Amino acid sequence: MIEFYPQIHAVHVWAIALSGMLMAIRGLGLIGGMHWPRGVVAWSLGLAIDGTVLTAAAMLFAILPSGLFANHWLWVKLIFVTAYFATGYWLLLVDQIRLRQALLLATSMGAYALAYGVARAHNPAGWLAVWGI
């Protein structure tokens, strides 16, 4: 499977980018009082993209050496990714007041940004490491 590493990695990166974009657009749409973010098309697209993210992540997890856990960056990233999905899907699934919707979206996008920083730096410090702070 290691033969397919570049392709799987690329799929993972592009899928997570699409996932974040779609989550942000759907979240803003919901806050704006629109109905389409909970429509069949948006759900199907979202589930397909998130399914791809998870599949590619699990494949990378299985084929890469266990050194991936060397400095625990992956654990930290997994915590942020879990927070991103949990708050994002909570926003999309459960009816709530607009302020709480905005807070959930902000938390979800914040967790997404932090996960991205950790993944980019391959370091639990994330953006702090990227910026050399």
Q: Candidates 29-37, 59-67, 77-85, 98-106 — which segment interacts with another protein by CB under 8 A?
A: 59-67
Q: Candidates 24-32, 56-64, 70-78, 114-122 — which segment interacts with another protein by CB under 8 A?
A: 56-64
Q: By CB under 8 A, is residue 61 in contact with another protein?
A: yes
Q: By CB under 8 A, is residue 52 in contact with another protein?
A: yes
Question: What letters, b where the CB count within 10 A reaches 16 and e where it falls short, cover 97-133?
Answer: eeeebeebbebbbebbebbbbbbebebbebeebeeee
Nearest to 115 by CA among 11, 29, 13: 13
Site string for another protein, 29-48 (x = CB under 8 A): ------------------xx
Shortest Å, Cβ 61 to another protein: 5
Q: Which pair of structure tokens corresponds to residue 97?
A: 């007041």
